[in-house]
Structure 1
Amino acid sequence: MTEQDHTAVIAALNDACRAEPGAGWVMTQGVHALPAADQQAAFAAVTAFKDFHKDNNPHGERDCGAFLIGGAKLFWKIDYYDLDLCMASPDPADPAVTKRVLTLMLAEEY
């Protein structure tokens, strides 16, 4: 597999992770404190996010983004762990050895 193919597989797996709120997603205390309607809007913004460019996607993995909800700036970031969530994944392109965790946070919590 070429490096470009490897990156494309990671990006597709990240897209799938973003498509399923709750499946490996965590939110910070700041997001948890938002009104329920803003939380739902934030979840929808993550699942619909397509504004990838060189500044937020330099490696082509589609693993982070930012947006505004109710005047608050939020970030989301996908990290790759081993199946026990103890260490980094040995290969983020291999779902058999990788658990993705999407963290949704307020910008000021970064």
Structure 2
Amino acid sequence: MGVAIVWLVDAIISLMIWFIIGSAILSWLFAFDVINHRNRFVSQLAQFLDAVTRPLLEPFRRIIPTLGGIDVSPIVVLLLLNFSKIVFYNMAAGPIVAILG
């Protein structure tokens, strides 16, 4: 059971990292007019990624100003997610597996 919990936490953090990367790439594609919002699939994908990543990014967007029109909050959140993943593996994963098996 402990291994499953460790896997689940790792999978959730990894998915959030990929969602943030995908959202950033999609926003760049919109900014450079490579794709547009009129495409239904692209619009739904953008709405989904925005809904998933907004709760993590918004607190940092309020604190961190944009640098020359570039939002650096995704970079900060990616660094914090990777940091939390390392901390989780080094401090919590071992005891969880040892206790729950």
TM score, norm. by length of structure 1? 0.34
Structure with the bigger RCO (C-alpha within 8 Å, sep 6+) is 2
Bigger proportion of residues as helix: 2
Q: Please identify which structure carries the higher strand content.
A: 1
Higher alpha-carbon Rg:
2
